Structures are given as C-alpha cells and as structure tokens.
Amino acid sequence: MILYSRLRCYVYPVKMLRGTAILLFYIITGSGITPITENIEIRLQGTADGPDSRGEGFAALTEHVQHWIGEDESFPSPNLGEIIETPADFRGDIFGVSGTIEVAADLRSPWEDVTELFVRDDAGMLFGLYVVGEPLPSLGSTLRTPAIFYKTMAIEGGDHQIRRYPTFVTSSAVLLPSTIHQSVPTAVLVIPALVFAFGILFVFTKSKNKKPSRTRERIQSSDVIDAANETATELPSNSSDALAVMYEGSEDKE
C-alpha cells in the first residue's frame, strides 16, 4: 500500500512486519492475548483525545479483543500519569490493569455489547475500562485484566474541574477476579461455623460441670403439726430451739 509520502512508504511496511512478527510470536507461544495488527494501527490514527466519543479506532479495538481468550499476567502495569501526558505514545499498547470498580454503565447503540467501567487503582487514580461481552464483575469488586490503551477522556467533575482519564479496552473473557475478594466469601462462611462450634462447646462444658441437685427429704406439714402438738408443752422459749425440737419430733415418728 503506497501512502502519501516517501517516508510513509518505508514506515508502514516496517510497522506491518513488526506487527506480523509479534502476532506470530504470540501464536507460537500459545497466548490468546494478541497485540493489535498494522491495520488496527491505521484505524487508530484518527482517534482524538479529550472528547467523550467513540469512533473508528474504538470499533477496531472492540473487534480485536473479542478474539482474546485465556489468561496472561505478563503485561506491565500502566503509568497513568505518563499516559495522560503523552497518550499518542501509548495508543494501542497492551497493559495489565487492576483496581476496584466504582462506576458501571452500558453504552448506547451501536455499542450495546460494551460496558463502560470506571476503576480506581491501588494508587487512587481513576481510569476508564471498556469491557466487551458478559459476564461482568459487580460494583465494588476488584479485577485484573490485560487491556489495550485507547485514549484519554476529559470529564468535568462536580467541582467543575476538567480532568483527563485514560481509557482501555478489553474483553470479559479475560477478566480475572482479585485474589483479595476471592478470600472474602470463605471468611464469611468460616465465621458462622466457628460461632456454631463454640456454641456447642459452651453448652457441652456447662452441662458437664453442672452439679446434680440434692434431693431433700420432704417433710409433710401434717407431721410438723403433730410434732408441735405433742411437744407443745415441752418447747423451749427460744424460737430457733423450738423449731429444732419440732423437726426432731416429726423425724422420730417416721
């Protein structure tokens, strides 16, 4: 393909060979996360940083990531500050992004199968992530995934300050849940089990240590009355001594 200048006649064949070589490398090594082709690089050239719009370059990336499969964590983490400053230098590169999902919204036609996420990384910086396909992780959960840098987007915040956010494109087929959030359900299940076990242990220990109640011999009230009648003339003047004499008399009758 002969382009408009002699320089481009040399540049694009070199890019094509480089893209083909990288693609062959990934095919040979068996990775399902393939880099963009020379054709996609050309389609990305018209991408404009800033506006909240999606054009030909976005369409090219969403088509490309639909063929991604498997897992690959070998990609470098992005330096979001550098990407914001010089987005053209990183456009089309693959990075390993991660963070917590804070906002999720479905895109309108013709991107009905794409979900827009805003993710906060460990450093507290926000970036946009376009995910093609389903299923998707829920709000508040964390994720890790390879993704292609698309462009920076300028958005006005609630304080009326305009901030730029880098945006990436990936496929739901290669999303990886965070190991931190995988451990939470296990803890939620273990805690009730421990409480239940301690409850059983407490009841068992309490029942084991409980002293048997002493069975006192019951004295009928009629016996006490009879004893009182028999000893009425013999009762001591002290009330305590008199009561003792009454009970002794009832026991002697038995």
Dihedral angle sign, alpha carbons of residues 131, 163, 150, 108: positive
pLDDT of residue 177: 75
Of the pLDDT bands very low, low, confident and very high (cuts 50, 70, 90), residue 148 is very high
pLDDT of residue 176: 87
Pairing, β 142-156 against β 126-132: unpaired
Q: What is the mean pLDDT of residues 19-44?
A: 71
- Total domain count, the chain: 1
Of the pLDDT bands very low, low, confident and very high (cuts 50, 70, 90), residue 252 is low
pLDDT of residue 112: 92
**Closest by alpha carbon to 95, among 20, 177, 165, 168?**
168
Of the pLDDT bands very low, low, confident and very high (cuts 50, 70, 90), residue 211 is low
Is residue 117 within 8 A of residue 170, CB to CB? The reply is no
Residue 80 lies in a domain: yes
pLDDT of residue 65: 97
Residue 117 lies in a domain: yes
Residue 108 lies in a domain: yes
pLDDT of residue 208: 60
Residue 239 lies in a domain: no
**Closest by alpha carbon to 168, among 117, 208, 123, 205?**
117
Rounded distance, CA 66 to CA 253, Å? Answer: 102
Residue 243 lies in a domain: no
Higher pLDDT, 198 or 97: 97
Residue 172 lies in a domain: yes
Higher pLDDT, 13 or 111: 111
pLDDT of residue 11: 40
pLDDT at 204 over 70: no
Higher pLDDT, 240 or 111: 111
Give residue-wise pLDDT tens across range 114-144. Answer: 999 999 999 999 999 999 998 888 999 999 9
The two three-digit tokens of residue 170, written as one number: 């990936």
pLDDT at 111 over 80: yes
pLDDT of residue 73: 80
CATH number (domain holding residue 115):
2.40.50.140
Measured CA distances, 149 to 28, 56, 228 (Å): 24, 15, 105
Answering whether pTM is above 0.95, one says: no
Residue 104 lies in a domain: yes
Rounded distance, CA 81 to CA 195, Å? Answer: 47
pLDDT at 229 over 60: no
Rounded distance, CA 48 to CA 216, Å? Answer: 96
Residue 176: give the domain boundaries.
72-181
Identify residue 154 by its one-letter amino acid code.
A
- Helix/strand/coil (H/E/C) assignment for every residue in the chain: CCCCCHHHHHHHHHHHHHHHHHHHHHHHHCCCCCCCCHHHHHHHCCCCCECCCCCHHHHHHHHHHCCCCCCCCCCCCCCHHHHHHCHHHCCCCEEEEEEEEEEEEECCCCCCCEEEEEEECCCCCEEEEEEECCCCCCCCCEEEEEEEEEEEEEEECCCCCEEEEEEEEEEHHHCEECHHHHHHHHHHHHHHHHHHHHHHHHHHHHHHHCCCCCCCCCCCHHHHHHHHHHCHHHCCCCHHHHHHHHHHHHHHHC
Of the pLDDT bands very low, low, confident and very high (cuts 50, 70, 90), residue 198 is low
Residue 27 lies in a domain: no
Averaged confidence pLDDT in the chain = 75
